[in-house]
């Protein structure tokens, strides 16, 4: 077939391959025409066709003489006992495979012949005696309660991680009212606004656009501004000023002299890796405190049934608030736990919109990647 794959012309160097295909009937009509044309001009090459028999193996009729011996023969229900099948019937009787009629016939044959009686006894002796054998380590196999702590721990960690993830994914991130703004005097007309950096998909990698709106030009050239953005971890936000002076502000509103800064970009750094330059005290992703008194329950002392009956999202909420940890920390801890125990390589990433708000979550590993959008409730 190689000659046709390369669409080669038939010649004296490759004609055998064409002839082989001809014998096997694999040539197309066009190829057949070419071969015949070739043979007209090269009749000596066609001599091979007169000797095609050795090229092809003929099907031969070969039978295995011992075939009958291979067949299994077991007593049929309508078969009757004879001298020839006595042994077969003896085994069948031993195994309880005979019909009542067949068993009766076997019994009669045994009773009538001493030799058959001996034979039958010999067959009965092939049955293994059921003697008492005691297993010495039996007590060691008994269990008091199911205590496979590793599996239990793995289950709990996995469950906690999944719950934390679900809670994290589906909990709406509130569009915060920027509480510090409420303390400001009534805003005048915005004199300047800017969207800084972060256009396009690069913001997914950590550069987050910040919309800065000047609220109230101060008397001495200072500007009150509000940063309209919602990040999951505002404490990780740094705001670079033109002269590398940090922009000082309180909350999401601040005061800064206009000439002192040129905003370049706002970068969301990795969790706690860089010192906070611009301090933003609003933490929109912190879990809101529950309106219940702190619980004195020690969770490690609870039974599985008790844990199952609890409202786990609330528990996580409560513990997270008490320990002052964010949902990111809870989710990351769960993911780390799963990775550590199972050797997986799962990581949790966040998508952010132009305002820095959380727009989606990506759960990924080498084998899979799941993107989940997050909708913000007004």
Would you count residue 76 as binding other proteins (CB under 8 A)?
no
Measured in whole angstroms, how far is the alpha carbon of residue 241 from the centre of its chain? 45
Would you count residue 129 as binding other proteins (CB under 8 A)?
yes
Would you count residue 133 as binding other proteins (CB under 8 A)?
yes
Q: Using the rule CB under 8 A, which residue among 74, 111, 272, 304 binds other proteins?
A: 74
**Pair 264, 210: CB distance under 8 Å:** no
Q: Quick one: which segment of 4-12, 137-145, 180-188, 298-306 binds other proteins (CB under 8 A)?
A: 137-145
Q: Using the rule CB under 8 A, which residue among 2, 6, 135, 368 binds other proteins?
A: 135
Shortest distance, CB of residue 109 to other proteins, whole angstroms?
17
Shortest distance, CB of residue 198 to other proteins, whole angstroms?
52
Would you count residue 87 as binding other proteins (CB under 8 A)?
yes
Where does the chain show beta strands of DSSP type E? 193-196, 210-217, 222-228, 237-239, 249-250, 253-257, 266-268, 347-352, 358-364, 369-373
- x-marked contacts with other proteins along 103-122 as a string, rule CB under 8 A: -------------------x
Would you count residue 148 as binding other proteins (CB under 8 A)?
yes
**Pair 161, 338: CB distance under 8 Å:** yes
Would you count residue 56 as binding other proteins (CB under 8 A)?
no
Q: Using the rule CB under 8 A, which residue among 123, 271, 283, 372 binds other proteins?
A: 123
Shortest distance, CB of residue 120 to other proteins, whole angstroms?
11
Strand partners, 266: 239
Complete DSSP assignment for 26-53: ---HHHHHHHHHHHHH-GGGGGGGGG-G
Shortest distance, CB of residue 148 to other proteins, whole angstroms?
7
Closer residue to other proteins (CB): 122 or 191: 122
Would you count residue 323 as binding other proteins (CB under 8 A)?
no
Total number of residues shown for the chain:
378
259: left (phi over 0), alpha (psi -120 to 50) or beta: alpha
Q: Helix (H, G, I), strand (E, B), or coil: what is residue 237?
A: strand
Closer residue to other proteins (CB): 123 or 328: 123
Query: Helices 15-23 and 29-41, interaxial angle, to 10°?
Result: 130
> Hey, which residues between 231 and 290 contact other proteins (CB under 8 A)?
none
Q: Which of 198, 337, 339, 346 lies closest to 268 in space, CA to CA?
A: 198
Question: Cα separation of 27 and 23, whole Å?
Answer: 9
Tokens representing 144 are: 């008091």
Count of residues that bind other proteins according to CB under 8 A: 32
Binding site for other proteins (CB under 8 A): 72, 74, 87-88, 91, 94-95, 97, 122-123, 125-138, 140-146, 148
């Amino acid at each position: 077939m190689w000659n046709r794959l390369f669409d080669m012309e038939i010649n004296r160097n490759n004609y055998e391959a064409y002839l082989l295909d001809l014998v096997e009937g694999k040539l197309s009509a066009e190829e057949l025409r070419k071969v015949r044309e070739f043979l007209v001009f090269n009749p000596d090459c066609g001599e091979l066709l007169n000797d095609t028999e050795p090229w092809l193996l003929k099907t031969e009729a070969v039978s295995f003489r011992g075939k009958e011996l291979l067949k299994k023969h077991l007593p049929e229900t309508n078969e009757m006992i004879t001298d020839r099948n006595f042994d077969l019937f003896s085994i069948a009787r031993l195994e309880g495979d005979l019909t009542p009629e067949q068993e009766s016939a076997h019994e009669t044959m045994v009773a009538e012949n001493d030799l058959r009686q001996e034979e039958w006894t010999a067959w009965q002796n092939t049955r293994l005696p059921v003697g008492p054998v005691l297993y010495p380590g039996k007590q060691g196999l008994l269990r008091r309660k199911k205590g496979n702590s590793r599996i239990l721990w793995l289950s709990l960690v996995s469950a906690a991680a999944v719950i934390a993830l679900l809670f994290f994914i589906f909990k709406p991130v509130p569009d915060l009212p920027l509480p510090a703004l409420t303390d400001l005097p009534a805003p005048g007309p915005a004199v300047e606004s800017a969207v800084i950096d972060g256009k396009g998909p690069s913001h997914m990698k950590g550069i987050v656009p910040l919309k800065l709106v000047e609220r109230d030009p101060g008397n001495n050239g200072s500007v009150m501004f509000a940063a309209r953005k919602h990040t999951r971890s505002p404490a990780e936000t740094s705001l670079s000023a033109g002269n590398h002076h940090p922009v000082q502000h309180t909350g999401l509103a601040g005061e800064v002299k206009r000439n002192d800064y040129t905003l370049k970009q706002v970068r969301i750094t990795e969790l706690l890796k860089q010192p906070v330059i611009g301090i933003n005290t609003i933490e929109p992703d912190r879990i809101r405190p529950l309106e219940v008194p702190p619980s004195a329950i020690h969770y490690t002392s609870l039974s599985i049934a008790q844990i199952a009956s609890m409202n786990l999202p609330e528990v996580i909420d409560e513990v997270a608030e008490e320990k002052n940890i964010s949902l990111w920390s809870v989710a990351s801890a769960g993911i780390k736990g799963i990775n550590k125990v199972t050797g997986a390589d799962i990581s949790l990433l966040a998508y952010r919109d132009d305002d820095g708000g959380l727009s989606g979550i990506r759960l990924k590993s080498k084998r899979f990647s799941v993107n989940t959008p997050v909708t913000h409730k007004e």
